[in-house]
Structure 1
């Protein structure tokens, strides 16, 4: 389908190789009915359950509204009143959305999919004659055989389609040709209704967004009911749907079009409308309302004037730039450069809109040009060297061969390639002779005696040193050397005692400046955490083009944030998780390799970013084992840093809901709370048996006194270091499913799992009393730790990843 280069239509998965049938209808409607660009808005949605706070960007709140037309509310209360001034609603999907937004009974209603018969005449597929089709939800991962068995249908037609018009129309043809459509993908049912084909809602494993189904059902004047299989579906259609279904007229919505309407598309819709009227009678419609037609013409003129004014503004700015001092240098620029590029090398506004989406993601034409054929020749080079370009999501992928850029000025000279690492200086300090270098950027200097994340960070330093690398470590939050507190200063000194070089403001005024000046020194850059190391990805890519970048997720931050928001019912945190997800997945796509700590996260990313180079690297720990036996141990413990909010929530949950149940059976038991940064409100608790240990520098002796540990986490992500540390010391752990996820550990791996507070308490009591069970858990946990989480295992895994990047690990020191 033809797509406008300037389209600011928004929908889920836009630009991705795999599309969702329902959302991708947006592109078809634009190609046949609308011109896809509108001035002075943040974007336009014309399909989907997207009327929600999460789809109202900050830009929309500063005079650039986001426009909704024919869309629906995701859930009641989803689009808060605070966001109403930042949106423009021209039409809605159904009466529930209209009621939720207080639009009144006369608001145009109907899903734009109902316009398809006016714009596309399907082909009849003979091979589907007399057959029923099942259209599962986009996220339904069951294979076809399982779906056919569950639904009773003859054929499975999936809504997961390629990013092209034929893939879209193939699904429409299948729906039109089938004898019956049974769908848990809502727009499969709506397209069937539009073409007058029998259909029913399929009750699959889960019903996503119940509000949208209720909304569209009221729009169609049918009950919102789901069926289990094809036989029930046929009866339900004949007795319930067919007698009552009534499609809403889309003409009122079209007269409130959010975009300029194509003349050809308008003629198609009017012709189809007249045919429908001939079949159903001649009752008055919106076309008989002279005022409505006048308003439509006025609105279309206003949209056209807005685009025209934007073009005039762009042309005026270009003329002003041409009159700036030094314009004689224009004679040295090509005609293309003078017309399309500003003097600073950035493209003119119109060109930016042709090449990039509003969110900064390059359009397909530009991705093809840059990524597949290499970087284009001047005048693009100057702009593609700039931070503005490299800060755009997905803006830069290093070609397989070095790009033909002019070298960026650096500490080694403006235009000559730097010498070998052993000959370079770094802020007056020589790089160790003959050593290859890795740069690690993380949040803080690691404090392995205070939190599990720091233990992981220091272990990566040790792993790279074992592999023969000289390690440079940048702590984003500790870069200002004079601002370090006592703990951070001690952590820095401890890091330096390992042989790593701690880079701070004595090397450069900022981390960005350090990378610009010295980035090419490093053959490997290890960026930890999306909002810390991940912040510097674009700068590293720009100034260290030969370096391989490994993105260390630590845990998937967006998963943790989303779970926290869902647990608290906090929409702001859920919105924050969506923004984090976008950045985190972009880093995973763009990095040369990304690492996660659990197989659960690996499986999730295989679905979220298929084909991305993601590797599982399990948490690495020393495994000291145990000395004391069952009888010598008495206490139950929790270990964790309390600045990490999932730990604090888990402890409070345990003390409030689980510990009282444990005390009924074990009245003399003690619960030891260990870990740094314990808040005062927690220390003020007076629960029976509660003992505050606080920060423990060496956990070995502390673990020897514990019979069990607990990990009662209710949200979080990744592998939990507290569980691994406990098992490495031979202490069984009672976990929630969140705490246990991704480690493939159960009773044969040293842990017991329960989420219900009563069941959790029963497992604590059982493991505390049963010596035989305790011994089995302790032994199996130690065995698993030595097999999977030892330091040597971590070194071998990282060597494999580095070799996969085309780098031969340097010889060990």
Structure 2
């Protein structure tokens, strides 16, 4: 019996040491490997020195081109059982080609996070307005939801985002599948060897500097929150880590003020275990925040904004404090930094969250069953998604011919 085949069309090459998106992609790849799939990963993006070596885990790779019929030939010959689109932008570019060449292939979209929600929050922040449905109904949201309908299934990383999609936009829940970050349980022996409160020092934040919400948060931290902390803890330092450091990030470095831009770090665990408190004052964004998972896994309590904490704790208590007011944020950060008993309590709450809400074993079997059911009954499910049929029809008439025009222009 021949192996099942999965084609992943990546927005970028996975960089698990640079971004949460890279970690997410590798988790998905491993899920499908465990299900016995032969996997090919393709993307039109360039490699970087931070790209994960997919061949080391048996994944084939190939470069593809945008607006080029060579992809049609490639995908028809491969004829995969499933295509996984990495973010809605790749579905826009390649979804119609997959549908034309491989109509029986199951189409799955990994949203990574709800881009339209992030964009709406950014628009509200820049306009100094309270976030509302009018901000949410932006062009990014319209494009993204069209992609959700055109696919057989969309993976949603946050319960909050699934609720928004089903309640605000009335998307049928059968088209959406909640699949968060998948974490191996943290056991007592691992907790026992983590550095103690007394052996740690300084504050930390981490995140890919190319991601606009991270850059905004670092600016906000430097200008508004850090001065409030520094006046109360004059010997403390703020260590800022992240990939793709630019000049506008470097110029935030201030040794006198203890605000230090540390740049790219290959092993986040090493620096997270040395830090006493993680700070995540994100003012807009979506999805789950990789920095907070890193902090919890390394026993580092956090102070975070509501948006940073979204989708993480459910009904459980946070591993630290959730504050949006800068004065309250700074006060809680100082309290965590100075009080070992409080710090220890919050650390344990983090372990509880990961073990109860993100244990990979709790998701693997259900996901496998969902994929099997969809594959076996795709015609049935597609008949009940007329909106998806409608949007695919119009996509084939519009996006297809725009792409064809670009092909001709480039030839």
TM-score tier after normalising by the smaller chain length: 0.7 to 0.9
TM-score (norm 1): 0.42
What is the Cα deviation at residue 510 of structure 1? 5.6
What is the Cα deviation at residue 623 of structure 1? 5.8
Q: Are 2:7 and 1:439 equivalent residues in the alignment?
A: yes
Cross-structure match for 2:339: 770
Alignment CA distance shift 1:570-1:501 (3 Å): farther
- 4+ residue runs over 6 A deviation: 574-577
Counterparts of 1:804 and 1:586 in 2: how far apart (Å)? 23
Q: Are 2:118 and 1:550 equivalent residues in the alignment?
A: no
Counterparts of 1:475 and 1:704 in 2: how far apart (Å)? 34
**Native 8 Å contact 1:634 1:705 kept in 2:** yes
Select 2:207's aligned residue among 623, 640, 646. 640
Counterparts of 1:781 and 1:514 in 2: how far apart (Å)? 49
**Native 8 Å contact 1:618 1:788 kept in 2:** no
What is the Cα deviation at residue 800 of structure 1? 3.5
Counterparts of 2:295 and 2:306 in 1: how far apart (Å)? 17
Matches within 5 A, 1:120-159: none
Counterparts of 1:633 and 1:743 in 2: how far apart (Å)? 25
Cross-structure match for 1:656: 223
Select 2:141's aligned residue among 570, 576, 581. 581
What is the Cα deviation at residue 794 of structure 1? 4.4
Q: Deviations over 1:232-262 (max 9, x none)?
A: xxxxxxxxxxxxxxxxxxxxxxxxxxxxxxx
For 2:278, what is the secondary structure of its paired residue? strand
**Native 8 Å contact 1:527 1:534 kept in 2:** no
What is the Cα deviation at residue 692 of structure 1? 2.5
| Structure 2 residues without counterparts, runs of 5 or longer | 378-411
Cross-structure match for 1:615: 177
Select 1:563's aligned residue among 104, 114, 121. 121
What is the Cα deviation at residue 804 of structure 1? 3.6
Alignment CA distance shift 1:731-1:800 (3 Å): farther
What is the Cα deviation at residue 745 of structure 1? 5.0
Select 1:723's aligned residue among 280, 292, 310. 292
What is the Cα deviation at residue 551 of structure 1? 1.1
Select 1:448's aligned residue among 4, 12, 16. 16
Counterparts of 2:242 and 2:73 in 1: how far apart (Å)? 35
Counterparts of 1:730 and 1:454 in 2: how far apart (Å)? 22
For 1:805, what is the secondary structure of its paired residue? helix
Alignment CA distance shift 1:727-1:510 (3 Å): farther
What is the Cα deviation at residue 590 of structure 1? 2.7
Counterparts of 1:445 and 1:590 in 2: how far apart (Å)? 24
**Native 8 Å contact 2:303 2:329 kept in 1:** yes
Q: Deviations over 1:405-444 (max 9, x none)?
A: xxxxxxxxxxxxxxxxx8xxxxxxxxxxx32111111211
Select 1:518's aligned residue among 77, 84, 89. 77
Select 2:270's aligned residue among 701, 716, 721. 701
Alignment CA distance shift 1:534-1:442 (3 Å): farther
Alignment CA distance shift 1:694-1:585 (3 Å): same
**Native 8 Å contact 1:718 1:742 kept in 2:** yes
Counterparts of 2:64 and 2:108 in 1: how far apart (Å)? 24
Cross-structure match for 2:160: 600
Cross-structure match for 1:590: 150
Cross-structure match for 1:792: 361
Counterparts of 2:31 and 2:275 in 1: how far apart (Å)? 30
Alignment CA distance shift 1:631-1:576 (3 Å): closer
For 1:697, what is the secondary structure of its paired residue? coil
Q: Deviations over 1:185-232 (max 9, x none)?
A: xxxxxxxxxxxxxxxxxxxxxxxxxxxxxxxxxxxxxxxxxxxxxxxx
What is the Cα deviation at residue 593 of structure 1? 1.0
Cross-structure match for 1:464: 32
Cross-structure match for 1:538: 96
Cross-structure match for 1:40: none
For 2:89, what is the secondary structure of its paired residue? coil
What is the Cα deviation at residue 654 of structure 1? 0.8
Q: Are 2:41 and 1:473 equivalent residues in the alignment?
A: yes
Counterparts of 1:747 and 1:576 in 2: how far apart (Å)? 27
For 2:155, what is the secondary structure of its paired residue? strand
Cross-structure match for 2:396: none
What is the Cα deviation at residue 798 of structure 1? 2.4
For 2:276, what is the secondary structure of its paired residue? strand
Q: Are 2:315 and 1:737 equivalent residues in the alignment?
A: no
Counterparts of 2:57 and 2:75 in 1: how far apart (Å)? 26
Q: Deviations over 1:73-132 (max 9, x none)?
A: xxxxxxxxxxxxxxxxxxxxxxxxxxxxxxxxxxxxxxxxxxxxxxxxxxxxxxxxxxxx
Counterparts of 1:622 and 1:676 in 2: how far apart (Å)? 25
**Native 8 Å contact 1:515 1:543 kept in 2:** no
What is the Cα deviation at residue 569 of structure 1? 2.2
What is the Cα deviation at residue 641 of structure 1? 0.4
Alignment CA distance shift 1:510-1:770 (3 Å): farther
Cross-structure match for 2:247: 680
Q: Which has the higher contact order (CA 8 A, sep 6+)?
A: 2
**Native 8 Å contact 1:623 1:785 kept in 2:** yes
**Native 8 Å contact 1:466 1:795 kept in 2:** no
Cross-structure match for 1:172: none
Q: What do you get for the CA RMSD once the two structures are aligned?
A: 2.6
**Native 8 Å contact 1:622 1:728 kept in 2:** no
**Native 8 Å contact 1:436 1:523 kept in 2:** yes
**Native 8 Å contact 2:106 2:375 kept in 1:** no
Counterparts of 2:314 and 2:224 in 1: how far apart (Å)? 25
Greater Cα radius of gyration, structure 1 or 2: 1
Q: Deviations over 1:35-54 (max 9, x none)?
A: xxxxxxxxxxxxxxxxxxxx
What is the Cα deviation at residue 505 of structure 1? 4.7
Cross-structure match for 1:504: 63
Cross-structure match for 2:233: 666
For 2:97, what is the secondary structure of its paired residue? helix
What is the Cα deviation at residue 770 of structure 1? 1.6
Matches within 5 A, 1:189-200: none
Counterparts of 2:202 and 2:366 in 1: how far apart (Å)? 36
Counterparts of 2:136 and 2:57 in 1: how far apart (Å)? 37
Matches within 5 A, 1:42-81: none
